[in-house]
Amino acid sequence: MKVMQWIRTPFKHTNGNATLILIGVNVLVYALTWVFQSLGYYLAMVPGAVLQLGWVWQPFTYMFVHANARHLFFNMLGLFFFGTAVERQLGSREFTFFYLLTGTLAGVFSLFAFAAGGMLGVPLVGASGAVYAVLLAFAVINPRARIFIWGILPVPAPLLVLGYTLIELWSEIFGSGGNVAHLTHLAGFFFAIVYFPIRHGVNPLKRLVSGR
């Protein structure tokens, strides 16, 4: 009981600029890895480096590394649009904790999934795991919100999450989508789903289905 009380102890609600700071850090790391290309290997999540060389920081730092400018742009675009809304609701401290925790857990999960598949030398980079967690958090917090696809087609937030989940499952099972880490995206969804009942006592699936 005391453990759950400690886990659910809220941070002081503050309204800062955590989303913009996270975007800034991602842009800074991208610039550094562009100038010092070897830095990307040290910060990316390479299962062999973590398990054999002891580079245990990589399941955390990978989420700040991006393969190219396009990869960075779309991840940061999603973080900006959904992250700012989630940050306003949760508060900057809670949002930062949520983002970094789900991103790290998605990295740890991917580490063992990649290793189990014999992909010890395959690097994982990108904020997608954490951004997908933020997308789910947005839908849980705002289950009646409408997202305009291409600025035209209104889609309910829960339906958008379901659609992304089905796309990731299809891509993972049938191997489409190039080298995108679909398991990492799904892990971001999963750890966000787990986060809300443990941390806030909220059933995310019920909110997504019922809309309240």
Model pLDDT for residues 131-154, shown as the tens digit of each residue: 999 989 998 888 776 776 666 677
Query: Would you call 155 helix, strand, or coil by DSSP?
Result: strand
Domain count within the chain? 1
Mean pLDDT score, 85-106: 96
- Residue span of the structural domain in which 129 resides: 2-210
Model pLDDT for residues 182-208, shown as the tens digit of each residue: 788 889 989 999 999 999 988 888 877
- Reported residue count of the chain is 212
pLDDT at 174 over 60: no
Instruction: Note the pLDDT of residue 173.
Output: 53
CATH code of the domain containing 113:
1.20.1540.10
Instruction: Note the pLDDT of residue 171.
Output: 59
| pLDDT mean across residues, the chain | 86
**pTM listed for this prediction:** 0.89
User: Among 156, 144, 141, which Cα is nearest to 211's?
Assistant: 144
pLDDT at 83 over 80: yes
**3-state SS record for 30-75:** HHHHHHCHHHHHHHCECHHHHHHHCCCCHHHHHHHCCCCHHHHHHH
pLDDT at 28 over 80: yes
Mean pLDDT score, 126-132: 91
Model pLDDT for residues 4-26, shown as the tens digit of each residue: 778 888 888 898 899 999 999 99
- List the alpha helices (DSSP H) in the chain: 2-7, 18-35, 37-43, 47-53, 58-61, 69-90, 92-116, 128-141, 157-174, 182-195, 204-210
